Amino acid sequence: MTSWIEVSEQRLAGNLRALMESVGAETEVLAVVKANAYGHGIELCSVALARAGVPWLGVADASEGARVRRALDAAGLARIDQPAILAMCGFLPEDVEAIAEHALTPVVWTAEQVGWLQGSGSAVHVEVDTGMARQGVHPGAELVDLLSEIQAANLLLDGVLTHFCAAEVAHSKLTQAQQWRFEATVAQVRDKGLAPRWIHAGSSSSVDNPPQDAPWLAKLAKTVGARPMVRCGIALYGYCLPIEQGRNRASQTLDRGGAQTALRSTLRPVMAWKTRILSLRELSTGETVGYNATFAAPRPMRLAMLPVGYADGLRREMSSTNARPGGWVMLRGRDAVDRRAPIVGRVSMNLTMVDVTGIDGLHVGDEVVLLGDGITADDHARLAETISYEVLCAVRAG
């Protein structure tokens, strides 16, 4: 094993509690565990979140939903006590059997999808496209026709949802426009004589950066006698996108900073990604390190080699040169104080070199933290000019 992941169920539950407190007692939290729980392990996290009391788990598709349901069953949780599972990213005809077998609730937005489910008696959630232009039925006549198809197919309309495209932008006019469209959507559902149990919109960023007219969602849900719900993913795992000020994301450069919001200050990273020192070597002044000799030792140095690289998800952008510092790892010296060890040279496919000069008591086999306390996914993302989501999902331990 070249590297491994440790997941703190205690921190996961703590982050869930922070989200629940932020949204208030009248709003529920759907815990998103798609993409292998953002790299944290879908089975482990689903069981931990179910035991913590979440009413819904969100997966990408029927295959993930089946994995979650089997994990909940294997954990000894009675079906009646298990959270509902929302398959959020669509399905194909061959998935219908798994949807029924594992009691999944699919998101639908086309008459074709409704037709595949006809006669199954399934509960469904309808997604409305209020501005994301990705998946969802258009409000207006198209929505009315879809609702009629659902009624004719003898399916239960259990929920109505939308997804915001700029939830991390403060005072976003895009979000406000989407809210107005969703309000009109819910009115259409009410006028059709349907009474969904759930009205949901928003994400971790929506909790961190609530609408100006909060509790907007709770008020909207009341108009049809439904429960409000937000779908939270990244915050469960200890992260949030920075709140962007004044402009929409499409018109500004990436900003990986972000002030500490009330929610963000309570979150703690759930994942620790670790490896071990594979070898140690001494370097003389002027010796170069790694591909293309992008780093030359400015003085005698001691380096540790780690058996991980970009094939494992350690971003190549973490590389360094003499002119440009890169990323770092955390290790522990003889004094038991956590120390930064800078990455030197290029991160390669399976190996990475770090500077351990002056850190006493190191041995081959000593533990090294690649992600965790002292070096977070936000740190990786800032260097790679990406987001913490991509960093976490890319980790491939083993």
Q: What is the pLDDT of residues 181-199, one digit of tens each?
A: 999 999 999 999 999 999 9
Q: For the segment 27-73, what is each residue's pLDDT rounded down to a tens digit?
A: 999 999 999 999 999 999 999 999 999 999 999 999 999 999 999 99
Catalytic-residue membership of 192? no
The region of weakest confidence among 63-72, 108-117, 335-344 is: 335-344
Cα separation of 216 and 211, whole Å?
7
Q: What is the model's pLDDT at position 336? A: 58
Rg (CA), the chain: 24
For the chain, report the end-to-end CA distance as a whole number of angstroms: 5
Asked whether the predicted pLDDT for residue 75 surpasses 60, the reply is: yes
Q: What is the model's pLDDT at position 261? A: 75
**From residue 45, how far is each of 87, 226, 296, 360, 371 by CA, in Å?**
17, 28, 43, 37, 18
Q: Which of 314, 395, 54 minimizes the C-alpha distance to 68?
A: 54
Cα separation of 241 and 238, whole Å?
11
Q: Which of 254, 251, 276 minimizes the C-alpha distance to 369?
A: 276
The model's confidence at residue 248, banded by pLDDT at 50, 70 and 90, is very low
The model's confidence at residue 259, banded by pLDDT at 50, 70 and 90, is low
Mean pLDDT, the chain, as a whole number? 93
**Token representation of residue 157:** 């309309």
Q: Which of 38, 173, 222, 291 is catalytic?
A: 291
The full set of domain ranges for the chain reads 8-266, 273-394
- The whole-model pTM stands at 0.93
The model's confidence at residue 325, banded by pLDDT at 50, 70 and 90, is very high
**From residue 42, how far is each of 10, 49, 248 by CA, in Å?**
16, 10, 32
Percent residues over pLDDT 70 in the chain = 94
**Token representation of residue 315:** 């971003």
Strands (E) in 24-94, as ranges, are 28-32, 56-59, 84-87
Cα separation of 108 and 229, whole Å?
18
Q: What is the model's pLDDT at position 211? A: 76
Percent residues over pLDDT 90 in the chain = 88
Q: Which of 34, 239, 274, 310 is catalytic?
A: 34
Asked whether the predicted pLDDT for residue 203 surpasses 90, the reply is: yes
Asked whether the predicted pLDDT for residue 256 surpasses 60, the reply is: no
The model's confidence at residue 338, banded by pLDDT at 50, 70 and 90, is confident
Q: Are 8-266 and 273-394 equal in CATH topology?
A: no
Question: In the block, which residue shows the tokens 């994990």?
Answer: 71
Q: What average pLDDT score do residues 294-300 get?
A: 97
Q: Give me the CATH topology for the region 273-394.
A: Lyase, Ornithine Decarboxylase; Chain A, domain 1 (2.40.37)
Q: What is the model's pLDDT at position 254? A: 39
**Token representation of residue 248:** 């929409």
Domain 8-266 has CATH 3.20.20.10: yes
Q: What average pLDDT score do residues 233-250 get?
A: 82
Cα separation of 190 and 184, whole Å?
10
CB atoms within 10 A of CB 145: 12
Determine if the peptide bond prior to 215 is cis (ω within 30°). Answer: yes
Q: What average pLDDT score do residues 149-158 get?
A: 96
Q: What is the model's pLDDT at position 334? A: 57
Cβ-contact 124, 108 below 8 angstroms: yes
Q: What are residue 327's phi and psi, to 5 degrees?
A: -85, -170
SS3 48: helix
The model's confidence at residue 262, banded by pLDDT at 50, 70 and 90, is confident
Cβ-contact 106, 113 below 8 angstroms: yes
Question: In the block, which residue shows the tokens 């890319």?
Answer: 394
Q: Which of 6, 48, 22 minimizes the C-alpha distance to 267?
A: 22
Asked whether the predicted pLDDT for residue 390 surpasses 70, the reply is: yes
Q: What is the model's pLDDT at position 335? A: 58
SS3 160: strand
Helix residue ranges per DSSP H, the chain: 9-23, 34-38, 42-51, 62-74, 96-101, 111-117, 141-152, 173-191, 204-208, 216-222, 377-384, 388-394
The model's confidence at residue 378, banded by pLDDT at 50, 70 and 90, is very high
SS3 223: coil
Asked whether the predicted pLDDT for residue 332 surpasses 80, the reply is: no
